[in-house]
Structure 1
Amino acid sequence: MRDAVRLIGTIATATLGTITPAFAQDNRSATVELATEEERRGLSWSEGRAAISGDVRASIGRLDLSARAVSTRNSVRHDGADAVVDLSVGTGWDLGAVRVQTDVTGHAFVGARGRRDYVEGGVSAGYTYGPLNAMLGVIAAPSQKAIGGSNVYAYAYANAGIPGTPLTAVAEVGHSSGSVRNADRADRLRPGGSYSNWRLGLEHRRDRLTIGVDYIGTNISENRAASRYADLSNATDRIVGRVQYSF
């Protein structure tokens, strides 16, 4: 119980400290989410354990700002971090029917035993046709000590409402690659080397509540040679559930 109280306090402090300026702006929104784990690009960031998160988004002119704080449960992948805070700034524009978005995101790890923060930037192109939303994108992190080199993630994402039902189908596929300067630290984002991931899911959205379940998979083998940062047991196929409330 004491650890749970400390964790909630860490997340609350990190979230409030970073998002308060955003709340002062117009066009703001926020969500809270409880998930069976914090999953990113097919990898668990919370060692396969339940995670709680909160985020806020705001627009200032053409700039889009967001902040998200999520528990990482003393993650081995992130050197014992209790939580991660993601701070993003971006902008977008329309090219005909295509929406182009660019952003830069900093990831700050709270409670890690070493300096594990890093920065990455992305560009995406999205297209909507009826109930179908599709997106292609690339997210790149330049070479940094905390991640043992550089990292590039290319992905395709789509969601569509299923006719005659209140459900939305979600699909994503991606591939991570990059350079390696320190193999141990590179295993944080690419356990054992370059890999591919995929996601198939269903969401039920009603008013401000979203309930989702996803099948997450990667082609990472638990038998790969990797460092302790790889957390290989939480990088293979599994089911992830989540409940999100927006306000």
Structure 2
Amino acid sequence: MKYAFLLPAAMLALAAVPAAAQEEAPPKPVTVSGSVGLVSDYRFRGVSQSDENLAVQGGFTIAHESGVYIGTWGSNLAGWGTFGGANMELDLIAGFKTPIGDGGTLDIGATWYMYPGGFDNTDFIEPYAKLSGTAGPVSLTAGVAYAPKQEALGAWYANGTSAANGVYDRPGAKGDNLYVWGDAAAGIPGTGLTAKAHIGASSGNKGLGPFATSVAPTGAYADWLLGVDYTIPSTPLTVGVAYVDTNISDREAAYLQPSFSRGQDGTGSIAGAKVVFALTAAF
């Protein structure tokens, strides 16, 4: 999808090539794609992972014609917890894609969330399934991800004060988490812009896990995003802006403080509304 702006030109070029030449260049059995980018705030399911500061991100995917793929993605971290001393998230991804129905795609896989330099009990695995397709000019994706019980998802602290003091109230606790979401994107005719929207719902590990980490810190909440992207013609660059928010209220986040605030100073919340800017280069 990151190369969608190149498809019309590619189709015209193929139409101008003799059939024999096309036969000499069959599709490659293995393809590599990826991106690198800069974002003004790394938001994971609506919650800042970079203390509402800049983050450098990137990754790549190796896909086989059979539908099997493997990939990795990383970003710097800050703020929310210490992830066991890590200042980086590194995800390992593997899955399988297959066409279904009339233009649909089913994607089944798993993500292993790692925090290099931290402790193993902050890492966790999360299987997922995604179904994507189109409805007229709109691209649609629906997904579900379920992380089974693991220490990284357990509520080790009774509140954010215990986390700030490094005192475990329930060491070794395990929890699980369910996340369901939907995405939509559509080009805006005559502008070069692509409008995008996201909504998701988390349910699971209420509280803070080892080193103040968590996937669903209040146990159950919703997040959403509205934005636009613009791909600069004749370049692999895309610039984007998005409004990101959650329904986690200040009252709901209060027991997570100070670990759930910018700079961990106990004021505000890193799950509040934010406008996020991004610059991405695809390859």
TM-score (norm. length: structure 2):
0.73
Aligned residues: 221
Aligned equivalent of 1:235? 271
Q: CA deviation at 1:184?
A: 2.6
Aligned equivalent of 1:172? 198
Contact 2:182 2:198 in 1 (8 A): yes
Match of 1:213 among 230, 241, 250: 241
Alignment partner of 1:217: what SS?
A: strand
Contact 1:191 1:226 in 2 (8 A): no
Alignment partner of 1:73: what SS?
A: coil
Give the stretch that moved more between structures: 97-106 or 225-234: 225-234
Share of identical aligned residues, percent?
31
Q: CA deviation at 1:130?
A: 4.2
Q: CA deviation at 1:187?
A: 6.5
Match of 1:69 among 74, 85, 89: 74
Contact 1:47 1:76 in 2 (8 A): no
Within a 5 Å distance, the mapping from 1:114-133 to structure 2 comes to 115-133=121-139
Alignment partner of 1:89: what SS?
A: strand
Aligned equivalent of 1:95? 100
Choose 1 or 2 for highest CA Rg: 2
Contact 1:173 1:198 in 2 (8 A): yes
Aligned equivalent of 1:43? 47
Q: Answer 1 or 2: which has greater strand percent.
A: 1
Aligned equivalent of 1:12? none
Q: CA deviation at 1:116?
A: 0.6
Shift of the 132–242 alpha-carbon distance from structure 1 to 2, 3 Å rule, reads: same
RMSD: 2.0
Contact 2:83 2:213 in 1 (8 A): no
Cα deviation, 1:162-204, whole Å, max 9, x if unaligned, reads: 1111100000111000255xx3329611122200011000000
Distance in 1, Cα, partners of 2:48 & 2:229: 20
Shift of the 229–177 alpha-carbon distance from structure 1 to 2, 3 Å rule, reads: farther
Distance in 2, Cα, partners of 1:226 & 1:107: 25
Q: CA deviation at 1:110?
A: 2.0
Q: CA deviation at 1:59?
A: 1.0
Distance in 1, Cα, partners of 2:259 & 2:129: 28
Within a 5 Å distance, the mapping from 1:104-123 to structure 2 comes to 104-112=110-118, 115-123=121-129
Match of 1:55 among 52, 59, 75: 59
Cα deviation, 1:43-84, whole Å, max 9, x if unaligned, reads: 111111100012011113321111011111364263442101
1:226 aligned onto 2:250: no
Runs of 5+ unmatched residues, structure 1: 1-24
Letter in structure 2 aligned against 1:191: P
Contact 1:78 1:229 in 2 (8 A): no
Aligned equivalent of 1:189? 215
Q: CA deviation at 1:86?
A: 0.5
Alignment partner of 1:52: what SS?
A: strand
Shift of the 121–229 alpha-carbon distance from structure 1 to 2, 3 Å rule, reads: farther
Distance in 1, Cα, partners of 2:113 & 2:70: 14
Letter in structure 2 aligned against 1:112: G
Q: CA deviation at 1:34?
A: 0.4
Cα deviation, 1:99-123, whole Å, max 9, x if unaligned, reads: 1111111011123367310000111
